[in-house]
């Protein structure tokens, strides 16, 4: 089935908020249409990435939808501030649905994340129901602190047709460190919710990752966190360096404690190997060009996109200033517009943001800029904070 045929078959599908009322035969037929649409797009997207095309006929196979919410935690490393827009599903799809839904239907994975705790929204159940019905063929990835993982939400995650990955933002292996990092008294509730998740889930359909943001406050406990995640029954541990949003946060950055970071990462890698635990760890500090695999490019401007509740668009979570918005342009005008073409062209040549990328360039973490987010700041403020932050604490 071609893309055009799949789109035609989908043109009369229920509206975004409709409940599935059609016969099972139609439901199965609809899913096959959607899977064909997805598979064709993903295959094309992979070819265009391999060829480093600048203009793409495919749409991104991974979509981050920033579902911002009020947060019940107050994490020491948080970047959220207090002025971000709260996600409303009716408002968002009423305004941007025509641009976004065709992209979501072609995606391989939908990542539901954002500032705050999405599962604490009053409409959290409706959001999950919406995506389970509209996109049963798309894998879902939910970032949560697990404090709002109530039975009705858990059932929508573990009992639906879609495959889910839950990224549990824990950052600590014990109550004391948990409360120091998260700054709220929810340890018992979170652990109880995680136990319920582990009891109900089918590991083939629902994967569980434990997240650990590395700061000067908790880095020493990373090896214990891997043991803790293994005991919980988690499938993977993801650890990453803390990003600085404001100059006063520099005291949390391991950029100034590089020996500590390297020691902890080496120990964590050994613990994970001994336990046969799958881990994703950051690159150590101090690697030279001849000691690390050469970074050829970054896949993200070809494979993914981030969509904000206010219509804003980003190539990735650590990208700096990017002014594109669905309020001013259509999705194709952004995806193949001057900004995206410029990023892809620079990366294809081995330059651009790759030099300071903490994920795709092993030596990028040696550069201070890889540890700082300067989004929404003018140039003078960036220069000022740069000089302030380099004064070692």
Two tokens, residue 370: 């890889």
d(CA 63, CA 345): 21
Which residues are 168's β-sheet partners? Answer: 144, 210
Handedness of CA 343, 348, 351, 356 (dihedral sign): positive
Handedness of CA 160, 163, 169, 175 (dihedral sign): positive
d(CA 130, CA 16): 7
Region class of 105: left (phi > 0), else alpha (psi between -120 and 50), else beta: alpha
CA angle 93, 99, 101 (to 5 degrees): 60
Q: Cα–Cα distances in Å, from 151 out to 73, 156, 379? A: 20, 9, 47
d(CA 222, CA 211): 10
| pLDDT tens by residue, 203-212 | 999 999 999 9
Two tokens, residue 99: 């641009």
- For residue 5, what pLDDT band results from cuts at 50, 70 and 90? very low
| pLDDT tens by residue, 56-68 | 999 999 999 999 9
Two tokens, residue 356: 């300071």
Q: Cα–Cα distances in Å, from 127 out to 124, 156, 218, 272? A: 5, 10, 33, 35
**What is the average per-residue pLDDT within 167-188?**
94
d(CA 118, CA 87): 9
Q: Which helix (H) or strand (E) holds 70?
A: none
| pLDDT tens by residue, 83-103 | 678 899 999 999 999 999 999
pTM for this entry:
0.87
Evaluate whether 244 touches 293 at the Cβ level (below 8 Å).
no
| pLDDT score of 22 more than 80 | no
Residues 6+ apart with CB under 8 A from 50: none
How many C-beta atoms lie closer than 10 Å to residue 93's C-beta? 17
Is 167 strand, coil or helix?
strand
> For the residues of 109-132, what is the DSSP string, one character each?
EEEEE-SS-GGGSTTHHHHHHHHH
- Of 129 and 9, the one with more pLDDT: 129
Specify the DSSP class assigned to residue 254.
Answer: G
- For residue 383, what pLDDT band results from cuts at 50, 70 and 90? low
- For residue 361, what pLDDT band results from cuts at 50, 70 and 90? confident
pLDDT for res 380: 58
Two tokens, residue 203: 């590991």
d(CA 134, CA 63): 15
Instruction: Count how many Cα atoms sit within 13 Å of the Cα of residue 264 in the half-sphere of its side chain.
Output: 26
Residues 6+ apart with CB under 8 A from 181: 75, 76, 77, 171, 172, 213, 215, 217, 218
Query: Cα 242 to the chain's mean position, in Å?
Result: 15
d(CA 227, CA 233): 10
Evaluate whether 215 touches 254 at the Cβ level (below 8 Å).
yes
Evaluate whether 61 touches 45 at the Cβ level (below 8 Å).
yes
pLDDT for res 288: 87
How many C-beta atoms lie closer than 10 Å to residue 222's C-beta? 24
For tokens 């948990």, the residue is: 178
- For residue 10, what pLDDT band results from cuts at 50, 70 and 90? very low
Two tokens, residue 135: 């996109």
Q: Which of 317, 267, 359, 284 is nearest to 65 (CA)?
A: 317
């Amino acid at each position: 089935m071609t893309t055009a045929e799949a789109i035609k078959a989908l043109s009369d599908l229920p509206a975004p908020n409709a409940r599935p009322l059609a016969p099972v035969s139609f439901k199965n037929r609809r899913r096959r249409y959607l899977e064909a649409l997805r598979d064709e797009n993903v295959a094309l997207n992979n070819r265009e990435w391999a060829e480093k095309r600048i203009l793409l006929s495919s749409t991104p196979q991974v979509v981050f939808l920033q579902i911002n919410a009020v947060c019940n935690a107050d994490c020491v490393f948080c970047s959220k501030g207090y002025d971000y827009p709260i996600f409303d599903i009716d408002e968002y799809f009423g305004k941007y649905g025509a641009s976004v839904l065709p992209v979501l239907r072609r995606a391989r994975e939908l990542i539901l994340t954002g500032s705050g705790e999405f599962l604490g929204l009053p409409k959290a159940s409706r959001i999950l129901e919406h995506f389970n019905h509209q996109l049963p063929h798309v894998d879902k990835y939910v970032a949560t602190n697990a404090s709002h993982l109530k039975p009705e939400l858990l059932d929508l995650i573990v009992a639906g047709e879609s495959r889910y990955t839950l990224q549990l933002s824990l950052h600590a292996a014990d109550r004391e460190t948990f409360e120091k990092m998260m700054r709220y008294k929810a340890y018992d509730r979170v652990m109880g919710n995680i136990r319920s998740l582990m009891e109900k889930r089918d590991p083939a359909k629902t994967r569980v990752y434990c997240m650990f943001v590395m700061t000067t406050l908790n880095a020493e406990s990373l090896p214990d966190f891997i043991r803790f995640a293994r005991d919980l029954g988690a499938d993977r541990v993801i650890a990453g360096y803390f990003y600085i949003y404001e100059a006063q946060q520099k005291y949390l950055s391991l950029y100034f404690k590089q020996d500590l970071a390297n020691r902890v990462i080496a120990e964590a890698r050994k613990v994970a190997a001994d336990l046969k635990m799958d881990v994703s760890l950051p690159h150590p500090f101090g690697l030279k060009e001849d000691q690390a695999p050469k970074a050829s490019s970054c896949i993200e401007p070809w494979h993914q996109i981030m969509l904000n509740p206010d219509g804003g668009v980003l190539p990735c979570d650590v990208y700096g200033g990017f002014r594109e918005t669905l309020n001013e342009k259509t999705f194709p005008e952004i995806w193949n517009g001057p900004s995206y073409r410029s990023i892809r062209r620079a990366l294809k040549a081995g330059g651009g943001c790759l030099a300071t990328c903490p994920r795709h360039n092993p030596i990028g973490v040696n550069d201070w800029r890889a540890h700082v987010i300067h989004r929404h700041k003018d140039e003078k403020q960036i220069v000022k904070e740069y000089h302030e932050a380099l004064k070692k604490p």
